[in-house]
Amino acid sequence: MTTVTDEQALDRDRERTPAACDAHPLELLAFCGPHEALEGEPVDGVAIVRFPRWRKSMKVFIVGIGGGVGRRVGEQLAAAGDEPTGLVRQQRQVEALASLGIKTKFGDLVAMSVDELADAVHGADAVVFSAGAGGKDGDDATTRIDGDGPGKLAEAAALAGVRRFILVSVFPEAWRERRMDASFEHYMVQKKRAEIALVQTDLDWLIVRPSALLNDPGTGRVDLGLAKVHEQITRDDVATTVVALLKSSDLSRLILEVTGGEVPIAEAVAAVREATAPCGSEQA
């Protein structure tokens, strides 16, 4: 009987033969020594054991890594063993993010060409845009970052061969209970313009519209769907929702609204999957 080391096992897992996979369809299989072998005949002359389900780490490029949602997305991905990389402009950000397990690349979204941005994105499995001018530097900065930025990143992602794109946008009726100034209205127009630019691409996109953001600790529970009543939500819960959607490759080309709620995030994502499944498709 052939035996291999644990390190070799993970490499060979990725190239399992169909016969071996069919033999144990419920779990990903790994190879190792006979002392850990399952009962029964070996497959292809190799003793097989059940390992925890192997998952290729996801490489995610984040624009807006310095913001409240973007940083939290990076932290959660790093904690899960994935590989987040953020676009930064300052050295102090490099050190702070490295301490959280987040890699960085230097660059300025506004100043970079599409080709330069594509070079930075190259090798990623997905991109997340959660940047915003935050009302700083006037309406022009809002136009260039909130309005032009997502479309520019989408163009770069397509050039780099990266199809998965999640845009963190905003509820269309955010703060409508207040009298907001002209700069806020300009911000809302730019957010909508960015959404339009993204949906006109052929990327594998999702748009997430969170309600008013809070810095309170996350609850792990949300109200997520195609249309929701605007309330409030923590940045922690928005980030957790984005991470869950990144790992839900079957959800694509949807605009989702999310606010605080009572449904655990994993269940909320599953409910969206069921609600948006094509008619007549098999349900899990």
- SS3 call for 68: helix
- SS3 call for 210: strand
Catalytic residue from among 65, 187, 242, 243: 187
Helix (H) or strand (E) holding 142: helix 138-142
Q: Which long-range contacts (CB under 8 A, 24 or more apart) does 17-21 make?
A: 17/43, 17/44, 19/43, 19/44, 20/44, 20/46, 20/48
Q: Is 7 a catalytic residue?
A: no
d(CA 149, CA 238): 20
Query: The tokens 């790994």 sit on which residue?
Result: 30
Q: What are phi and psi of 223, to 5 degrees?
A: -120, 110
Say which DSSP state 82 is in: -
Q: Which residues contact 109 (CB under 8 A, 6 or more apart)?
A: 63, 87, 117, 131, 145, 149, 152, 153
Cβ(259)–Cβ(229) under 8 Å?
yes
Known catalytic residues are: 187
